[in-house]
Amino acid sequence: MRMYDVIRKKRDGGELTRDEIRYFAEGYVNGEIPDYQAAALLMAIFYRGMSEEETAELTFAVRDSGERLDFSGISGIRADKHSTGGVGDKTSMIVVPIVASLGIKVAKLSGRGLGHTGGTVDKLESIPGFRTDMPEEEFIRAVNQVGAAIIGQTRDIAPLDKKLYALRDVTATVDSLPLIVSSIMGKKLAADDDCIVLDVKTGSGSFMKTLEDSVQLAEAMVSIGKRAGKKMMAVITDMDRPLGHAVGNALEVAEAVDILKDRGPEDLREISLILSSAILYLAGKAGSMDECRLLAEDAVRSGIAFQKFEDMIRIQGGDPACIRDPALFGKAPYEKEITAASSGWITHMNTEDIGKASLLLGAGRNTISDVVDPLAGLMLLKKTGDPVEKGEPLARMYTSDPERFAKAEEVYVQAVRTGQEAPAPVPLVHRIIT
């Protein structure tokens, strides 16, 4: 078999076989196939697409390219939740303790933020002492002991995806459905979970800007997960506005704590309860989503979900005093308000640009090596659909470097549109796919 023939076949619209996909995957990971041939195949896939069968085989090749985690030592039903990435999306810190407090085990591998989207690992690392680099044995022991743990992805999982993503990033082939599906699901399937709930974002702050594209992505991922023997559900949620009010690491931890204490922004509470209900339903905790919703609500109301979050922080070396009193996180040394230039209604927010404004304040990274300021970010005082008066505060910026304010404010102002009429309401959940 020659890589030249594989490239030509896909270039001409042919369907690659399992053996051809495995030949490419193994050869590229081993260094036998050079970047220029891999890039040619990626571009052919970008233009020609892949069948459902091809996409599944590429996903399984990503899964099998490195270490596969063995969670058989974890007792009980194991579940995971994955978000395709958004702004202000801190639901993992809410959903994980809710479902763990109800007996579902969550051994979660999460990523860091890159670009306009935040990462759960960065957020949790704003808690003093919290460790996201636990060895596998200790990780499994923690899950068995308290029901949940969240760590960063290990270097040995899905090395094919790491190589392909780096290449896609510099060859303009990121926005390809089969490549996105294989990247997300290849990593998810390398972990040993029974149930997977996908939070597929749609709108200006997501990688999928249209509902049609988000539905396609969700359906493809659910189908492949089922092929692999997993119980699957995808919830397509709105990302045409940030989720909650806080955008930035310690700010988002504090807001997640608010939800676990049965208060906080209604949109964040609602999405968190829906995702929790989906996991509980797949895990068989009750016979309907509505019944599972009641269980999740009770876990928050009774305080057992908050207690589970404390337990998880403690076992991962963090100081739970910070979530009992988020003021202990401290405060960025500089803050500045952005005020409304005119009266009216906020009609639209370019959510991706809101994320970029937070990044410019120091809350995110453009490259893997960038250092994140845990106290930097934005607190959104008004969002899409809210009325505003001229001079009224719209957002509050936080940073350790006041020179960052000007550019961040410029990006924020350009991202927010106002008008004289209230916009039509947009649903938080667009569709659920099973």
User: Any idea which residues carry the catalytic annotation?
Assistant: 82, 161, 168, 183, 187
201: nearest Cα among 56, 87, 350: 87
Which amino acid is residue 67, in one-letter code? E
* CA 309 and chain centroid, separation: 19
Rg of the Cα atoms in the chain = 22
User: Rounded to whole angstroms, how far apart are CA atoms 363 and 105?
Assistant: 30
CB 88 within 8 A of CB 123: no
Task: Say how far apart CA 119 and CA 185 lie, in whole Å.
Answer: 18
Nearest to 299 by CA among 274, 267, 273, 324: 273
| Burial of 287 per CB tally in 10 Å (0-12, 13-18, 19+) | exposed
Classify the C-alpha dihedral 205-210-215-216 as positive or negative: negative
Gap between the Cα atoms of 58 and 353, Å rounded = 33
Q: How many of the other CB atoms lie within 10 Å of CB of 131? A: 18
Burial degree of 128 (CB within 10 A; 0-12, 13-18, 19+): middle
CB burial readout 254-264, b (16+ within 10 A) else e: bbbbbbbeeeb
H or E segment at 419? strand 416-419
Question: From the CB of residue 246, how many other CB atoms can be counted at a distance below 10 Å?
Answer: 27
Q: How far apart are CA 333 and CA 402, in angstroms?
A: 9
Q: What angle do CA 272, 187, 58 make, to 5 degrees?
A: 125
